[in-house]
Chain A
């Protein structure tokens, strides 16, 4: 699997998949819907899938001494590695904003979503949706990616919309806490995000392997 991952990174991947990881730092921006950064990293991964199709990567890989299911696993591994790096990077501004910058007025006056553990939970949920809807959708045919990506865009922007509006409802205002206020709630949403990411990715991988096994290349 390590060889396949290396192949993904050296041959199949678009440079944009790596460059767009930097969007994780958007969580430093005040007055910006920071959840959009998770969409950008998915857009970078989408570019790699375009390259995969243009370069006949699936057929090339299928002819290597690997099993068909390994091809699917390697694509998911590549996506989760990029998502992990993005997640680590976007966690840096979150931690900084939760600690040393928690009282800075520009962030306190921010009308949009705050960078806290709830934000990270939502980020993981959106990444999970990408794996489920886009990557899983791609492996239904191994060449059609427009429809699954449009479906992902709709769901991702709904998730961003919910994340950005939910805390304006008084009952949910604690979701936009600063620093470590309402830490239990923040942690709960974060753990839910981690669980949903793992669950959605696992379901998607299982389904994608089954679908891809049936495809004639």
Chain B
């Protein structure tokens, strides 16, 4: 059973359209969501979280439609975006204390564990954190209720190589615990390191959604890295249109 199933998601803006996006997220799987800036990664993620209203499409988590079971579903998923800064002048411990009251599965030991892993001082305020530490703070909030699905919008942006590596290791650990992780990125090495699946979006359309091995087999030419093949695909529309 897919933990999350998205069917024919579309959203039109004046200068951009998300067209017919469909995909599934399975338990124990890491999906790397890749595409250049403005390709539709954030719109897709916001749509599947109910922050953006899609023009059409079906969004189901745990076989439940999101529109009807929003509260119940959100109890079981975690979301983090690397760029948004919540409550810059409140102490981390106060934000976390309020956040935890909303979750039935809030796990204090997980919160403490990730606080230590991320080397976060809970007496600090988000405005005192570096960009990378803000990403970690958002992740901390997303990870502290043992979410079954983690949806992360560019979680590795702004992180130093060591922290990025630690984070990718953490994704693998979460996967091994049975969670499903969807993370958007434009850093191909992140995907190479930990993703099982690759979802590649271009100009608002899912150009490829398959296992990493299948992606490499289908799109990477001999000796070509993932980054080189994606760059080539970005420059040549015909390659993926036939996929």
Using CB atoms and an 8 Å cutoff, list the residues of chain A in contact with chain B. 3, 6-7, 10-12, 54-57, 59-60, 62-68, 214, 216-217
A65-B71, A67-B71 given; A56·B98 CB < 8 A: no
Docked-complex contact A64 and B74, CB < 8 angstroms: yes
Neighbouring A residues of B101 by C-beta, 8 Å: 3, 6-7
Using CB atoms and an 8 Å cutoff, list the residues of chain B in contact with chain A. 46, 49-53, 70-75, 79, 84-90, 94-95, 98-99, 101-103
Give the complex CA separation of A76 and B120 in angstroms.
Answer: 34
Q: Binding site of A, secondary structure by majority: helix, strand, loop or mixed?
A: helix
Q: Within the complex, which residue of B46, B90, B102 is in contact with A66, where a contact is CB–CB below 8 Å?
A: B102
Neighbouring B residues of A55 by C-beta, 8 Å: 86-90
Docked-complex contact A68 and B90, CB < 8 angstroms: no
Docked-complex contact B51 and A56, CB < 8 angstroms: no
Q: Within the complex, which residue of B50, B74, B89, B98 is in contact with A10, where a contact is CB–CB below 8 Å?
A: B98
Name the residue among B89, B98, B99, B103 with the largest chain A CB count within 10 angstroms.
Answer: B98
Give the complex CA separation of A67 and B70 in angstroms.
Answer: 6
A6-B101, A56-B84, A56-B86 given; A63·B52 CB < 8 A: no
A-B contact list, 17 entries, CB within 8 Å: A3-B102, A7-B101, A11-B90, A11-B94, A11-B95, A11-B98, A56-B85, A57-B86, A59-B51, A63-B49, A63-B51, A63-B79, A65-B73, A66-B74, A66-B102, A68-B50, A216-B51
Docked-complex contact A217 and B52, CB < 8 angstroms: yes
Q: How far is the CB of B53 from chain A (nearest CB, A)?
A: 6
